Chain A
Amino acid sequence: MADGIRDKVAIIGMGCTKFGERFDASPQDLIVEAFVECIGDAGLEKKDIQAAWWGVHMPDISVGRGATVLGAVLKLPYIPVTRVENYCTTGTEALRGATYAVASGAYDVCLALGMEKLKDTGYGGLPLAGGMGYKAPLIGFNMTAPGAFAMLATKYFSRYNLNPQEGKMMLAKVSAKSHKNGALNPKAHLRKEVTVEQIMNAPIIAWPLGLFDCCGVSDGAAAAIVCRADMAKNFRQDPVFIKALQISVSSGDEMLYTRWDGTHVEPAYRAGISAYREAGIKNPREEVSMAEVHDCFSITEAVTMEDLQFSPRGRVKEDIDAGRFNADGAQPIQIDGGLKCFGHPIGASGLRMVYEMYKQLQGKADKRQLKNPKIGLTHNMGGFPSNNVVSVCIVGK
């Protein structure tokens, strides 16, 4: 009987680049920047890494396909390298590959590295890059990511009787909180506090979402080295243990059948349940000390609080209003500034979130350091609210 991966694998080193519009850096520069910090943090040599998982979502606009990029850039010595892609969970999928490989007993030490270079396209928002296949333009709608998630907000406001003012106010508080956190983080892309009023009055990107309801688009990379839990302390005294690593994928009924209510993300709820079971968490609202969730848009973070059972269904507004998720609240969310301030280089984001949890658990989060966190959770959601993949990773001491 399978018993999951809880406490079988430890993170012994991590690296994360400065995120931003890195017009100064090539994709290869970003890969090296994250790797150098990561291997230095782990105190290993390259020859100790037995296999690697490489995450990039849109390689066609940066480095091209396949695993050879990572091998060639890092001059890895002919070890197995696997390229993974799974929408916005790509970085977490790289970590999942490395973690599962170690948990299986196949290897002792593995590398996960994710990178995305989005700012070579010449326009804002996520690139199109023909990523939906040839048939999509023939049958799909003329949409962007903000629009896809705006539909979650429209439906949420309608279902819970929030007028546009009330709804936008709830979302503005989500973004204001993240901006406040991000201002303290030297690796964040956007480092400016923004008031609720500024957010409410910003230009509309996709109704009802305004400019500050949307995360930035940026370049970045992040990496982790994992090893067998029982050997972790040979490398460092403060390893971080992986408690759960789960994903869930839509089954198609949300977008085709008329049952889904349009105000939540079903795979987020399902991945949460699986991860809590694996980690042995019974009351997520009380037991999860902090989380980095996929706040690609303010509404995504809001409904994720409900999907991950941090807030009761339809009542996240009360928790937002009470400041529960602020840095000084009972359950800080996006303590590093989130996607909101880091932007979302897709292949890197999942590992960037784990990086913050890792630093917090080690007490090395500088001005953002929370008081004695025990359990950290990261969450990525890729695709569209109606059809998506969600990852949940739980780490602890």
Chain B
Amino acid sequence: MVGIKSYGAHIPRYRLDRNIMQLALLFLGTGPLRGEKAVANWDEDSITMATAAGKDCLTGEDRDKIDGLYFATTSQIYSLRQNAGIIAGALDIATVSRTADFTDSTKSGTTAMIAAADAIGAGSLSSCLVCVSDCRVGKVSGNADYTYGDGAASFLMGNKDVIATIDGSYSTTHDFVDRRRLEGERLEHMWEERFIRDAGYMNFIPEAVAGLLNKYKLNIKDFSKVIYACSIAGAHSALAKTLGLAPEQVQDPLLMNVGDTGVAQPMMMLVAALEDAKPGDRIMVVSFGQGCDVFYITVTDKITEVKNKKAIKRNLANKAALGSYEKYLAFRKLMPVEIGIRGEEAIFTSFSIVSRENREIYGMVGSRCRKCGAPAWPIQRICPNPDCGAIDQFDPYRFSDKLGNIFTYTADYLAASIDPPSAYGFIDFEGGGRCGLDFTDCDANTLKVGLPMELSFRIKYADEKRAAVNYGWKAIPIIA
């Protein structure tokens, strides 16, 4: 049966208290929502967050049989150069053959899921990783500014050993213009919220749910959880009544603690639902964009074997206050920041290097000596073990999923950074190998020699002159 083999999620560590936003923005009026929103670190974007969710999803999974990777977002980084291909490289899925970006509508995450299920069902793919993320920016003080949060989800789809079967789907399409953005624009435009609520959510979601129930002769009571996307807290509650849901059937839309994560919202809600699901549970997922996709799943006995996922719960617990709205503006480049003349030095990006050494740079794949077993990154053709020195006897060795400890470190206030100090150091990895790496998602004063660290795929630098965002793996304190 076609279904979900594994799930994962990512929520950025920083949370911005909407009361802090309100204090900064009161001169422009009051905001529509309280609570807090998850905010991508300065070195995160839709690609890195999707990769983080993908890494979580692949924990304990064999990634050597995956032949598809679908990425869904409305905050795509490249419009020419496939974003899904970057994620496949970062996750070092060497066997991937078909990749695609699903974009332009907040329903494109469910579209990617259904497309993956269809391809596996038809036998044209055997296993497909679906990564979904959004990192959207709205105009300062606008509805989107308050409401949006950043996050990602990922599902490994296959046809054996699934934790949930995908049993059916139903889709609608309407050229409903709630939000829009032209090619080349960064900030979204949004139509009146009352229109979006009444003519949008309250209209299309019941229509799509009814369509699915009708198609498969099901009753809403047959579902233990119903997940439906919604950016308006009040509308989400109202929809529960309209759909006839009991309180325990309603999945929390994460608006108060994460925010509206766009494409990722219903997919993150699905991860949260699966974390609490029991065998036999039936779950419906409804997205919302220019129309809706609906699909439903049935949880299998395999759900009890899922372990070591960060998913939603651990990611929610791993949080730090961003502290100021100005910092958010600086992180999202909504406010020019003086980072010093040192920071203005041009970095040149050579795309022949990026292409030729992609697996080493983006995948953090190094070498492991066949003779003495010493791993190293970057790739060493001559073994760095002074007692070995074997020449050209090595296998590829992936560091990105390994754990390590801080060998030494510093927090550098001279290095140009949007978020000084720049923390970095050497990590000694379990299983061997020492790598010098940037650190991120950490408070400099909590670093110490020996601190356990894991790796996270992040932006290294943006080379705006050459239309490039370059990525690599950085070290972060292990997420409990």
**Tally of A-B residue pairs with Cβ under 8 A?**
147
What 0/1 readout, one digit per residue, does chain B (346-376) give for beta carbons within 8 Å of chain A? 1111100110010011000000000000101
How many residues on A have C-beta within 8 angstroms of the other chain's C-beta atoms?
Answer: 44
What 0/1 readout, one digit per residue, does chain B (34-57) give for beta carbons within 8 Å of chain A? 000000000000000000000000
Residue of A nearest to B388 (CB): A257
| Cβ of B422 under 8 Å from chain A | yes
Tell me whether B415 and A143 are in contact (CB under 8 A).
yes
| Cβ of B139 under 8 Å from chain A | no
| Docked complex Cα distance between A370 and B357 (Å) | 56
Q: Which residue from A121, A127, A151 sits with its C-beta under 8 Å from B410?
A: A151
List, in ascending order, chain B residues with CB within 8 A of A144's CB: 412, 414-415
Residue of B nearest to A149 (CB): B410
Q: Which residue from B354, B408, B412 sits with its C-beta under 8 Å from A143?
A: B412
| Cβ of A138 under 8 Å from chain B | yes
What 0/1 readout, one digit per residue, does chain B (411-446) give for beta carbons within 8 Å of chain A? 111111100011011101000111111100000100
| Cβ of A207 under 8 Å from chain B | yes
Question: Dominant SS at the A interface?
Answer: loop
| Cβ of A174 under 8 Å from chain B | no
Tell me whether A258 and B434 are in contact (CB under 8 A).
yes
Q: Which residue from B353, B408, B432 sits with its C-beta under 8 Å from A151?
A: B408
Contacting residues of chain B (367-416) with chain A, CB-CB under 8 angstroms: 374, 376-378, 380, 384-386, 407-416
How many residues on B have C-beta within 8 angstroms of the other chain's C-beta atoms?
Answer: 54
| Docked complex Cα distance between A90 and B361 (Å) | 31
**How far is the CB of A156 from the nearest CB of chain B, in Å?**
9
Residue of B nearest to A128 (CB): B345
| Docked complex Cα distance between A258 and B421 (Å) | 27
**How far is the CB of B66 from the nearest CB of chain A, in Å?**
25
| Docked complex Cα distance between A143 and B411 (Å) | 9
**How far is the CB of A57 from the nearest CB of chain B, in Å?**
17
Tell me whether B384 and A253 are in contact (CB under 8 A).
yes
Given that A139-B378, A252-B380 are contacting pairs, would A206 and B460 also be in contact in the complex, using a CB cutoff of 8 Å? no
| Docked complex Cα distance between A392 and B260 (Å) | 62
List, in ascending order, chain A residues with CB within 8 A of B460's CB: 137-138
List, in ascending order, chain B residues with CB within 8 A of A152's CB: 408
Tell me whether B410 and A154 are in contact (CB under 8 A).
yes
Tell me whether B407 and A155 are in contact (CB under 8 A).
yes
Tell me whether A206 and B413 are in contact (CB under 8 A).
yes
Given that A141-B424, A147-B424, A251-B386 are contacting pairs, would A256 and B433 also be in contact in the complex, using a CB cutoff of 8 Å? yes
| Cβ of A130 under 8 Å from chain B | yes
Residues of A within 8 A of B (CB): 121-125, 127-130, 134-135, 137-144, 146-148, 150-152, 154-155, 158, 203-207, 209, 251-253, 255-259, 262, 386
State the 6 A-B residue pairs at the shortest beta-carbon distance, nearest first: A147-B412, A150-B410, A155-B408, A158-B449, A256-B384, A141-B424
Q: List 9 A-B contacts (CB under 8 A).
A: A128-B345, A130-B346, A138-B354, A138-B460, A142-B412, A142-B415, A151-B426, A256-B384, A258-B407
